[in-house]
Chains A and B, each alone.
Chain A
Amino acid sequence: MPDATTRTIEIECFRYDPETDAKPRFQRYQVPFTDDMSVLQGLQYIKDHLDGSLTFRWSCRMAICGSCGKMINGVPQLSCHSFLRDYYPRRVRVEPLNHFPVIRDLVIDQSGFLDHLETVKPYLIPKEEQPLAAGPQRQTPLQMDRYYQYSQCINCLLCYSACPQFGLNPDFTGPAALALLHRYNADSRDQGWSARREVTNAEEGVWSCTLVGYCSEVCPKGVDPAHAINQNKVNSTLDYFGILKFLLPRGDAK
């Protein structure tokens, strides 16, 4: 169990209020902490006791809801999943996720991501709708392995913050959405590859990725979006030459 001793750390927060601030500023707070406290708990301490105007998103506290991503000392991380003890005695600097417009303080505008997510058709597109009476479809653990890792994405957007290409071009569909595209393409129950083909092959699709791989490094869930994108570059190339459909085991391209 963690040490219960209280120490004090300095947290430096990015501040921006569109109603009053012409430009962003930084504000420092002295925060008492124990070894088990996350950066999120540090921010909550500030909000509850020092400055109720500090604004940030959070919800589950256990790294599954994807709300609380921030730049922490320049690295995109979930604030509930990073700990003040790891920064002490140095100051910890908290900023909004890179590459997104800032609404206020640490809160970014995530609507662009939601638009990208919608374009990849992130839902099963079966050959034909099954009646419920048909029961569950079979899917072996081996078939699940093909997509399971990509289904772990919590949409926390750390990978977009890590991606230099998304920083240059917000129209890039981006790592998480492309990983989810692959999640459905790789599912044995799905026949939607061709419906997703356009967004895969587009300039803003897989080909915008320059294989930096930082997205996979910062992913808190081991999704490896870079690998998903690379897989689809191969598929996209084979598709271009019209040979993909001959290589794949089923009727539709996979």
Chain B
Amino acid sequence: MNIIKSDIVVVGGGGAGLRAALAAHQSDPGLSISLISKVVPMRSHTVAAEGGSAGVIRDEDSLDKHFDDTVSGGDWLCDQDAVQYFVEHCTEEMIQLEHWGCPWSRQDDGRVNVRFFGGMTVQRTWFAADKSGFHILHTLFQTSLKYPAIRRYDEFFVADLLVEDGRVRGVLAIEIATGAFFLFDCKTVILCTGGAARVYSQNTNAGIVTGEGMGMAYRHGVALRDMEFVQYHPTALAGTGILITEGCRGEGAILTNRHGYRYLQDYGLGPLDPWPRPKAMELGPRDRLSQAFWHEDQKGNTIETSQGRVVNLDLRHLGAQKIHERLPLITEVARTFVGIDPVTQPIPVRPAAHYTMGGIACNRWTETALPGLYAAGECSSVGIHGANRLGSNSLAEIVVFGRVAGERAAAYARELPDGDSRSIRQQAEESASRLLALLECQSGERVATLRDELGASMETGIGIFREDSGMRATCDTLAGLRARYRAGIKLDDRSRAFNTEWLSAIELGFMLEVAEAMAHSAVQRQESRGAHVRLDAYQTRDDDRYLTHSLARYSGDGPPTIDYAPVTITRSSPQTRHYGGAGQRAELT
């Protein structure tokens, strides 16, 4: 076992992990920091975020408006103290990125430009064309190269947390190139491992978004909070699930069914005119738009294609110049993957699983219940997304709370004396032998078989609309898949060097458990709220019983136990979410 000692371990090299590492270093340059990632940081899934990041900057906007849009978008399941902190710090993080070189799109006079996103009262989304995540990630990664004190361990797969005397004291990782085990002995761990939407078969996520950070914390007793809330992005390519940014609609694109009709007006998002106006029609929130697609599909109003049924996202009226300037990636993606030029033809789209609103339960300082363990970004549930995340709050979240996690972990590490690594060594050895047993298993099913059944079952049971029987069926399927997983996975590949089949098998174990947390949290929430919408007896929001966070707790081979914790409400008491209706026409900049 190779041993590497450092003060802080950051797991994950996406936007949250890089921001955390930079913040930890800047708050105390004397600390040693290991940044461990299963891919080279600039490959992380932050790279695929397109539309942009929220930050109040226009005169007619205010922190209160950002707060209200976020809390109502989240259907009042947000922790309002966390939202308050968040909205107060988004803009300074956008400025920080600008000072580090991020090429935000500009107005003619050189000021930063902002665009609309769904559910926004005022234009608030900072964007770098439609490659905002790409530019944020490369800016953070390249800036991190300035600080050699941030030691990178690229292509190291973190497989377990090591806990001693009730504190996290390290992680066990596999060096992918050689298959060798490494024990990272440290004082504090920051998990920034991203979401878990790969548990759905149709999803917008990169192949690496398999939820093992959530899974690791969960196995060590940290609750996964609000896992039933999985966001379907309303506009993805059918088949591949490749994302077509909400920025399209922010720039004025419209959605039409097979009759060329803007169907959103039939689902509480109309009337049509004046267009565009904030929080109406195509500028409604993601949960409502995905649900409207489902209804249209039921009515037979969608369009049949070889890749399944779709609606049209029409950009043509924006004109070639605006499309090429503001949406170059989308143009390229549509041309390459569906052979369509958005300047002359609408893009066929449908909803796909996109984002896990829930995650590792932590407070607004990113501290989990396990001392020394912090979580930031999509893997965490810091409390800002509630039951439905507002578009462009996730890129802001990774930098706002990435920084918080880095600073908090640095302060924690400074105070803590070096530990005795003997017992974590033993834990690491035991954990490593379990991983090796997986590699040496002689019989069983293929990774892909179980993974495909998992994805299909999540789509069917825990999709855009849910009902009791379907959710229970998925819970049963997942229990069966976990039993089959324990019975054995047969790998074709028994090598240690760069064995990605082995890593997929490890990921699959975490995916099954995280999916189970989602499914059981869903079946037990007997109401409809945000992205969790039921077609059975519980079609409305029930604040008396369920204005509360769900907490899924690991219980070994059995299903998780689900309990509840209060939502922090400081100043906005639950109201009806209001979209559409009368309103002023907005000028798009």
- Give me the interface of A with B, judged by CB distance under 8 Å: 1-4, 17-20, 34, 36, 47-49, 51-53, 55-67, 81, 103-105, 107, 109-110, 114, 117-118, 121-124, 126, 129-130, 132, 135-141, 143-144, 147-148, 151-152, 154-155, 180, 184, 187, 189-190
Contacts and interface: CB of A to CB of B under 8 A. Distances in A.
Contacts of B491: 52
A178 B135 CA distance: 18
In the complex, the 7 A-B pairs of residues with the closest C-beta atoms, listed nearest first: A138-B110, A4-B306, A52-B492, A48-B448, A53-B493, A124-B101, A52-B501
Given A107-B498, A117-B142, 11 more contacts: A2-B306, A19-B497, A36-B239, A36-B338, A52-B501, A60-B48, A124-B100, A129-B99, A140-B106, A152-B131, A154-B47
Interface in B436-472: 446-448
Residue from A59, A61, A67, A109 with most neighbouring chain B CB atoms (10 Å): A59
Contacts of A187: 101
Nearest to A3: B306
B207 interface: yes
Nearest to A56: B500
Contacts of B495: 17, 19-20, 53, 104
Given A122-B142, A140-B110, A110 B500 contact: no
A51 B493 CA distance: 8
B145 A122 contact: yes
Nearest to B131: A64
Given A1-B338, A136-B111, A155-B42, A53 B501 contact: yes
A253 to B, nearest CB: 19
Given A4-B306, A187-B101, A18 B47 contact: no
Contacts of A123: 100-101, 142-143, 145-146
B499 interface: yes
Interface stretch (B27-35, B90-98, B355-363, B557-565): B90-98
Contacts of A47: 448, 500-501
A115 to B, nearest CB: 10
A17 B134 contact: no
A141 B497 contact: no
B343 interface: no
A23 to B, nearest CB: 16
A117 B307 contact: no
B40 A51 contact: no
Contacts, number: 175
B207 A81 contact: no
Given A2-B306, A140-B110, A59 B207 contact: yes
B110 A143 contact: yes
Residue from A20, A64, A180 with most neighbouring chain B CB atoms (10 Å): A64
A132 B96 contact: yes
A190 B100 CA distance: 10
B242 interface: yes
Given A59-B206, A60-B47, A140-B108, A104 B338 contact: no
A31 B548 CA distance: 50
Interface in B199-226: 206-208
Contacts of B131: 64, 152
Contacts of A81: 336
B492 A51 contact: yes
Contact of B240 (A53, A61, A136): A61
B429 interface: no
B13 to A, nearest CB: 12
A136 B112 contact: yes
A135 B305 CA distance: 48
A61 B206 contact: yes
Contacts of A103: 177, 497-498
Contacts of A129: 99
Interface of B: 39-40, 42-45, 47-48, 92, 94-96, 98-101, 103-104, 106, 108-112, 131, 134-135, 138, 142-143, 145-146, 154, 177, 206-208, 239-240, 242-243, 305-307, 329, 332-333, 336-339, 348, 446-448, 491-493, 495-501
Contact of A104 (B92, B99, B154, B497): B497
A53 B446 contact: no
22 contacts: A1-B305, A19-B496, A48-B446, A53-B495, A53-B501, A55-B493, A59-B45, A61-B240, A63-B333, A65-B47, A66-B43, A66-B47, A67-B43, A81-B336, A118-B145, A123-B143, A130-B99, A136-B99, A144-B103, A147-B103, A154-B42, A184-B101
Contacts of A147: 103
B446 A151 contact: no
Contacts of A189: 101
B101 A114 contact: no
Given A55-B499, A110-B40, A63 B101 contact: no
A136 to B, nearest CB: 4
Contacts of B104: 136
A81 B109 CA distance: 37
A122 B306 CA distance: 44
Contacts of B106: 138-141, 144
Nearest to A45: B448
B154 A136 contact: no
A137 B98 CA distance: 7
Contacts of B112: 136
Contacts of B48: 60, 62, 64-65
B497 A53 contact: no
A73 B154 CA distance: 29
Given A17-B497, A55-B498, A65 B43 contact: yes
Contacts of B101: 123-124, 184, 187, 189-190
A144 B336 CA distance: 27
Contacts of A138: 106, 109-111
Contacts of B242: 61-62
A124 B99 contact: yes
Contacts of B45: 59-60, 65
Contacts of A49: 446, 448
Nearest to A4: B306
Nearest to A52: B492
Nearest to A140: B110
Contacts of B96: 132
Contacts of B446: 48-49, 52
B42 to A, nearest CB: 6
B77 to A, nearest CB: 30
Given A48-B446, A53-B493, A122-B142, A60 B206 contact: yes
A250 B296 CA distance: 59
A141 B493 CA distance: 52
